[in-house]
Amino acid sequence: MCGIAGYFRLNHNRELDRDLITRMVNMIVHRGPDEFGLFRDADCVLGHARLSIIDLSTGQQPLANEDGTLWITFNGEIYNYVELRPELEKAGHKFRTKSDTEVIVHAYEQWGVDCVKRFNGQFAFAIYDKNKGSLFVARDRLGIRPVFYTIHDGVFYFASEIKSIFCQSSIPRRLDFKGLDEIFTWWTTSPPRTAFENINELEAGTLLEIKDGNIRKSAYWQMEFPDSYDNTRPLSDWAEELHELLVDSVRLRLRADVPVGGYLSGGLDSSATVALIKRFTDTKIETFSIAFQDKAYDESGYQNQMAEYLGTNHHQITCTYKDIAENFPGVIWHAERPILRTAPTPLMMLSGLVRQNDFKVVLTGEGADEIFGGYDIFKETLIRRFWARDPNSDWRASLLKRLYPTLPLSGARAKFYLQTFYKAGLADIDEYYFSHIPRINTTTKIKDYFTGEVKNQIGDHDSLGVFGSGLPDGFYRWHHLARAQYLEAKSLLSGYLLSSQGDRVAAANSVETRFPFLDHRVVEFGAKIPPRHKIFGLKEKYVLKKAMARELPKEIVDRVKQPYMAPDSNSFFQPDSPSYVREILSNRALESGGVFNPSFVTRLNAKCAKLSHAHLSFKDNMSIIGILSTQILIDQYIDNFKPAGKLGRDAFTTWHDEISETHAKVKKSGS
């Protein structure tokens, strides 16, 4: 995992800023503090901040092909580079490093932009082709590694993080209120939209090519499900093939020239990942986990049980209310968008624990829930579709109580809550977002706090429909579980879990996370598995549990999933809460920000303070976190943004300056 940045001129009459790249790279130094590199000529400037993981001695970037006509800056890993290299050598390509980066360059020479279809990995890269006068930018299939871009004054700017782009001071920094509208509907924007006006995110599984001033984007992959399933194949066969795929996925993701550890939450997914790592090493695995002061969120008992069972050298950090409040502004700085829960904060602390123990790489179980039906939203979908056939049936509605037997309400109140909350939208069974209506209804409460001006600027923007454009041709023929899985992966997985809760909080501490369950082979295989093998009755991830039964203790395999969460509003309304909370939620700050109605927020603040030792409703919790994170974002990126200073030439391991070399040659010749 590294940081990439650069710019490419679309107009040949426009001269490029020669020094901007050093500020852009310095702004994302946390992503790659080991080495820095630069390439620049009259048309293109590339920068790189490296986290050295593969080919530590010769893998510096930006990197070129043999004759210097292709240059790349690359963030991520190509796990199957070992297998691709002999094929490229046989085709006549010469290598001078042992890096996966050089494999990308030669693969592009051999196969053009279709090279991405050959890669098994997580990546974002840009290749400058001097002969063609083109720039080629690509992002991995699931959107694990980020890349953002904008066009300003005849120049195309790109970077791993938006803050790097904002180092160009002439680029306006303004919130995109339609982006906020989408975040407060889906927890994320629908790319290319971001939280900032005219700043774009390259979509997962997408290529971008620039040539002769023209920009062309095209998708090369998306999640697909079949119209029908092979129901003759026994569950045991599905489970066995899944197990083999996961073993190979873990094998590939252990490729590194530095030690690799694992996150261990105590749940099925991370336990399965660490158990499979153990197959490939005779030494103790280093594992890392979060415990919580608030026992409602704590899984440390299961974590310690699994660490003992697997014989790992386990490291654990305990997260308090105060920890969340103090670290929350740092999370927003790295997330670069409002968030609705505090869950990324402990994960940033966890990556800090990894780094403190001199590790750069960890494997994690993220992605299993989306691929194999692990979330309650999938089970809710099955029940709600069944209920929609007879909306007046109390018996059908009562099935929801089986999902939430510990709901902290009396029997009558629990029944009323479940039947009213989940009944909303039953008539919308044919809408593509049917599965997500309960979550959407909870999230959109935040919009009640918008000022009238913000509502006017949002206008008739259809935030509900943003993920409905570009649906696969067969989407409405898919099983309803498949539709829900697709939408969850398209929205929450890429836009939140792999971003605010993934890449950003790991990169904050110079740590690379790897995801065996998001190997595209596993994802594509998972899509073919019949829904009844994913959710059996109301047992989630049934086929995965069967696949991993031989590796794990029964109590871990059979335990009911505990969603990863962290204390939300409680963290910010304690006697020792940091002073910034009061300041940034004050009437003065709210009026200055111009997004939220101060009188409405004041009432919510009072409610949160009054219930600081109890639990707010989900709607109020999301509202206060969404408002607080937006206010912090405004403070950090709109009102008080401070670009990093430029790195000096001595800081760069590699410095390829064809502009300076050309000037030097001209001066020497006396021309």
Annotated catalytic sites, by residue? Answer: 2
Rounded to whole angstroms, how far apart are CA atoms 193 and 374? 28
Q: Residue written as tokens 């023929």?
A: 477
Q: Residue written as tokens 């001071």?
A: 169
Instruction: Please enumerate in sequence order all residues whose Cβ is within 8 A of that of 274, keeping only pairs 6 or more positions apart, or say none.
Output: 262, 264, 285, 287, 306, 310, 312, 363
The number of helices, as runs of H, and strands, as runs of E, in the chain is: 27, 18
Of 596, 572, 560, 584, residue with least CA distance to 640? 584
Rounded to whole angstroms, how far apart are CA atoms 467 and 653? 43
Residue 536, phi then psi, degrees to nearest 5: -105, 110
Q: Is the peptide bond before 192 cis (omega within 30 degrees of 0)?
A: yes
Beta partners for 158?
Answer: 6, 149
- Do the Cβ atoms of 75 and 1 come closer than 8 Å? yes
Task: Indicate the burial class of 665 (C-beta count within 10 angstroms; 0-12, 13-18, 19 or more).
Answer: exposed
Rounded to whole angstroms, how far apart are CA atoms 338 and 622? 11
Task: Indicate the burial class of 56 (C-beta count within 10 angstroms; 0-12, 13-18, 19 or more).
Answer: middle
- Do the Cβ atoms of 84 and 78 come closer than 8 Å? yes
Of 132, 124, 135, residue with least CA distance to 216? 135
For residue 557, the Cα-to-chain-centroid distance in whole angstroms is 26
Give me the count of residues in the chain: 671
Of 77, 499, 3, 73, residue with least CA distance to 256? 77
User: Residue 212 corresponds to which tokens in the numbers above?
Assistant: 């002769």
| Torsion angle, alpha carbons of 233, 234, 236, 237, to 10 | -10
Query: What Å distances lie between residue 58 and 69, 94, 228, 240, 543, CA to CA?
Result: 19, 15, 49, 40, 43
- Do the Cβ atoms of 429 and 388 come closer than 8 Å? yes
Of 520, 481, 513, 546, residue with least CA distance to 120? 520
Amino acid of residue 80:
N
Instruction: Please enumerate in sequence order all residues whose Cβ is within 8 A of that of 311, keeping only pairs 6 or more positions apart, or say none.
Output: 278, 284, 285
Amino acid of residue 183:
I
Rounded to whole angstroms, how far apart are CA atoms 487 and 320? 33
User: Residue 495 corresponds to which tokens in the numbers above?
Assistant: 């836009």
Q: What is the largest CA-CA distance in the chain?
A: 92
* Angle at the Cα of 515 from the Cα atoms of 374 and 306, rounded to 5 degrees: 70
The three-state secondary structure class of 630 is helix
Of 2, 100, 99, residue with least CA distance to 48? 2
- Do the Cβ atoms of 160 and 125 come closer than 8 Å? no
The CA R_g of the chain, rounded to the nearest whole Å, is: 25
